[in-house]
Amino acid sequence: YEMTRMYEHHDAVLHAVREGVLIVGGDGRLVLANDEAQRLLDLPEDAEQRHVLELGLDDDTAGLLASGRVATDEVHLVKDRLLAVNQRPTDLRGGPAGSVTTLRDSTELRALSGRAEVARERLNMLYDAGVGIGTSLDVARTAQELAELAVPRFADYVTVDLFDAVLNGEEPRPGTSLRRAACNGVRDDAPLYPVGERIRFVPTSPQARSLTTGQSVVEPVLREAPGWLAQDLEHTGKIVAHGIHSLITIPLRAGTLVLGVANFYRSEKPQPFDAEDLALAEELVARAAVSIDNARRYTREHSMAVTLQRSLLPRSLPEQGALEIAYRYLPAQAGVGGDWFDVLPLSGTRVAMVVGDVVGHGLHAAATMGRLRTAVHNFSSLDLPPDELLGLLDELVGRIDQDETPADGAAAVTGATCLYAVYDPVSRVCTVARAGHPPPALVHPDGRVEFPDVAAGPPLGLGGLPFETADLELEEGSRLVLYTDGLVEDRDRDIDEGLELLREALGRAPGASPEDTCRAVLDSLPNRPSDDVALIVASTRVLGADRVAEWQVPSDPVAVSEVRASVTRQLAEWDLDEMSFTTELILSELVTNAIRYGRGPIGVRLLRDRTLICEVSDRSTTSPHLRYAATTDEGGRGLFLVAQLAERWGTRYTHNGKIIWAEQPLP
């Protein structure tokens, strides 16, 4: 009775509210149901005064109403509606027994919430794409990152097909022939083209249309897509039989360039791709395309730097008899460094070896390395001592730094180190100088390993400081090991530890050949070096006394005939009689010049190696010059005659004078 009076008092208010309202008496009978409650629960017209268990409601909802218990935002499915139910007893503060229940339709809110969840997941995917695609500067790896991100969150299978030119770092040319660069899926047995397969798409295929128009193509039902099926009836039939039913193909575009296509397939998810899926896929591909293009550009620059560097490094070593040489060059894991080496034959059977390292990586380091190597070639032709040659290199690097200083005045220090060594097989002396470079290693014939004490000197480019040389007397069969810092220094170990590892590797191979020594040293590395490595191993040979002849010559023109006679006898002993005439002419001119223009004592030396070398020394530092004598001149033709008869000739200076030499090929 009291519940009925309360209902009558609030009748207008209860029917006006947007929520459904139910009042249930203490006996479980429905006292009141406003219009919204009747609509939401689809109650019969005579529902009031009937027990709530007799209203045709589902068991969960009817049980809640009959219980009268407290409920807060409980979700109940009533037919096709999701209802949020709140219920409170009416007798908590001394009121009549029963309960009041409110109902709110949350079907649309749930749908909105579901769409919000989908939107949130898609935003998460785009965020993950921003941080997860393009982690390396490798084109194929970047394409694979796109495929791994989208499976299974968006698609069941993803493939990426790129032009070969893109994989090689070049700009793509229009066409429909691509190579599969990436593939990923929820299963491994899908009948899709494998990575590395070259694919020529037919004009009707979605991929060809995307490449031609630059637009995305959606095929919601693949079994009803004749253009896609025409690619390869047998192959596409296997794909459909596998359960793959829907496809999105999107061109990978970077500016005006089309790099390839990305393909998204569905099989496990029953619903086909729609417009919202296309928008998300296009956003993912757009981000991936930027990263792939960046990797392509890096690949191009890296290839250019590698090509430049390898063109500047020696392709083969020159022929010489003083040293048996083996070498290795290992490029860095990433980037191109400025490590270099060279072997240069000098006059008098001597040989120069040089290793250097330009700071930095890339085209700039490779180009600077080429300039320094060319400079060493030119300076070595002057037969300069190692310390003087490094001094000239130091000036050159300083000029390079000045030329490349930015306009704002900030220093652009190139930075380089170098070691230059000259070995003489006659004296067995190796003269070494270094500019901030790691010391050489010396392996004695008995297997002992040491690092000779050679003054380090400053790195090239600092200027103002002299370089020092060290003379090492080497036994025949000794191995001299020159290298760059990438061999002994790494981010995981300091140079002292690296030198000790090198010592152990060299000590384990006593008596090994240079080739075997190179192999043993590189095999001992704990892992692939992060910096370039240049390595030279040279085993020393000796030019024996039976292949060297020397005479002292008085400063008297009469002595020339005696020298000629002695040379003729020596050539006969060497079975080189046929060279007597030209050799006598060469020595006559050189000795006569030394007597006329030089200072005594005068020395003559013959060396029989791969060639026959004539040397005339004196104490004068004045160098003769080749000139063309006029028809009326009585002299001036001697050096011209020497240049015509000899294969090479030149001058080198010593600490107490000079040596004029001429080299002839052996018959």
468 shares a domain with 557: no
Q: What are phi and psi of 373, to 5 degrees?
A: -65, -40
Q: Identify the CA nearest to 590 among candidates 621, 627, 553.
A: 553
User: Does the pTM exceed 0.85?
Assistant: no
User: Residue 563, Cα to own-chain centre: how many angstroms?
Assistant: 63
Among candidate residues 78, 105, 132, the one where a domain is terminated: 105
CA-CA distance, 87 to 74, in Å (whole number)?
Answer: 9
529 shares a domain with 488: yes
- Helical spans, DSSP H, in 220-259: 226-229, 233-241
**Gyration radius (Cα) of the chain, Å:** 45
**533-540 vs 449-450, strand pairing mode:** unpaired
Q: Identify the CA nearest to 168 among candidates 1, 299, 312, 333.
A: 299
Q: Identify the CA nearest to 356 among candidates 367, 336, 340, 343.
A: 340
597: in domain: yes
pLDDT above 70 covers a percentage of the chain that reads 90
Taking each helix axis from N to C end, the angle separating 275-312 and 139-150, rounded to the nearest 10 degrees, works out to 160
Contacts of 99 (CB under 8 A, 6+ apart): 23, 24, 65, 68, 87, 88, 89, 90
Taking each helix axis from N to C end, the angle separating 638-645 and 580-597, rounded to the nearest 10 degrees, works out to 150
The strands making up 217-219's β-sheet, listed across from edge to edge, are 198-200, 177-185, 157-162, 257-266, 246-254, 217-219
Q: What is the pLDDT of residue 411?
A: 42
Residue 123 or 157, more confident: 157
Tokens of 607: 């060396």
CA-CA distance, 398 to 394, in Å (whole number)?
Answer: 6
Average pLDDT over residues 282-290: 93
CA-CA distance, 216 to 275, in Å (whole number)?
Answer: 11
72 shares a domain with 53: yes
Q: Tell whether the model's pLDDT for residue 655 goes beyond 80.
A: yes
CA-CA distance, 398 to 610, in Å (whole number)?
Answer: 39
Amino acid present at 493: R
CA-CA distance, 356 to 342, in Å (whole number)?
Answer: 9
pLDDT above 90 covers a percentage of the chain that reads 43
Q: What residue numbers bound the domain in which 82 lies?
A: 2-105
**Cis amide prior to 514 (ω within 30 degrees):** no
Q: What is the pLDDT of residue 607?
A: 94
Contacts of 424 (CB under 8 A, 6+ apart): 322, 348, 349, 350, 430, 431
394: in domain: yes
638 shares a domain with 523: no
563 shares a domain with 530: no
Among candidate residues 56, 74, 105, the one where a domain is terminated: 105
339: in domain: yes
Average pLDDT of the chain?
85
> Would you call 318 helix, strand, or coil by DSSP?
coil
Residue 13 or 403, more confident: 403
Among candidate residues 483, 517, 540, the one where a domain is terminated: 540
489: in domain: yes
Tokens of 88: 């409170």
DSSP state of 485: G
Q: Identify the CA nearest to 298 among candidates 479, 408, 105, 136.
A: 136
Q: Tell whether the model's pLDDT for residue 81 goes beyond 70.
A: yes
Q: Tell whether the model's pLDDT for residue 8 goes beyond 80.
A: no
Q: What is the pLDDT of residue 13?
A: 57
The number of folded domains in the chain is 4
Task: Give the 3-state DSSP-derived string for 597-637, with helices as H, strands as E and coil as C.
Answer: HCCCCEEEEEEECCEEEEEEEECCCCCCCCCCCCCCCCCCC
463: domain CATH number is 3.60.40.10
188: in domain: yes
Q: Tell whether the model's pLDDT for residue 395 goes beyond 70.
A: yes
121 shares a domain with 95: no
575 shares a domain with 502: no
Q: What is the pLDDT of residue 117?
A: 64
CA-CA distance, 26 to 84, in Å (whole number)?
Answer: 23
Distances in Å between the Cα of 513 and the Cα atoms of 27, 351, 488, 538, 633 are 107, 19, 21, 9, 57
Strand partners, 214: none
Q: Tell whether the model's pLDDT for residue 615 goes beyond 50.
A: yes
Residue 296 or 312, more confident: 296
Q: Tell whether the model's pLDDT for residue 514 goes beyond 60.
A: yes
Q: What is the pLDDT of residue 240?
A: 92
CA-CA distance, 461 to 360, in Å (whole number)?
Answer: 15
pLDDT-based confidence at 599, cuts 50/70/90?
A: confident
Contacts of 385 (CB under 8 A, 6+ apart): 422, 431, 433, 469
User: Residue 502, Cα to own-chain centre: how many angstroms?
Assistant: 26
Q: Tell whether the model's pLDDT for residue 320 goes beyond 50.
A: yes
Secondary structure (DSSP) of 381-399:
TTT--HHHHHHHHHHHHHH
Tokens of 385: 């001592």
634: domain CATH number is 3.30.565.10
pLDDT-based confidence at 570, cuts 50/70/90?
A: very high
12: domain CATH number is 3.30.450.20
298 shares a domain with 329: no
Q: Tell whether the model's pLDDT for residue 408 goes beyond 50.
A: no
DSSP state of 647: S
CA-CA distance, 289 to 279, in Å (whole number)?
Answer: 15
pLDDT tens-digit profile of 227-262?
Answer: 999 998 889 999 999 999 999 999 999 988 999 999
308: in domain: no
**Cis amide prior to 251 (ω within 30 degrees):** no
**Cis amide prior to 601 (ω within 30 degrees):** yes
Q: What is the pLDDT of residue 278?
A: 92
Average pLDDT over residues 534-551: 93
Q: What is the pLDDT of residue 110?
A: 60
CA-CA distance, 550 to 271, in Å (whole number)?
Answer: 97
263 shares a domain with 133: yes
CA-CA distance, 437 to 422, in Å (whole number)?
Answer: 16
Q: What is the pLDDT of residue 113?
A: 52
Question: By mean pLDDT, which of 185-189, 303-307, 445-449, 592-596 is the weakest?
Answer: 303-307
SS3 content of the chain, % helix, strand, coil (to 5): 35, 25, 35
Burial of 88: CB neighbours in 10 Å, binned 0-12, 13-18, 19+: middle
342 shares a domain with 294: no
Q: Are 519 and 326 in contact (CB under 8 A)?
A: no
Average pLDDT over residues 448-469: 89
168 shares a domain with 268: yes
Average pLDDT over residues 175-197: 92
CA-CA distance, 38 to 57, in Å (whole number)?
Answer: 12
**257-266 vs 246-254, strand pairing mode:** antiparallel
Q: What is the Cβ-side half-sphere exposure of residue 71, based on CA atoms within 13 angstroms?
A: 23
266: domain CATH number is 3.30.450.40
557 shares a domain with 509: no
307: in domain: no
pLDDT-based confidence at 32, cuts 50/70/90?
A: confident
205: in domain: yes
DSSP state of 438: P
Q: What is the pLDDT of residue 109?
A: 60
Q: Are 349 and 425 in contact (CB under 8 A)?
A: yes
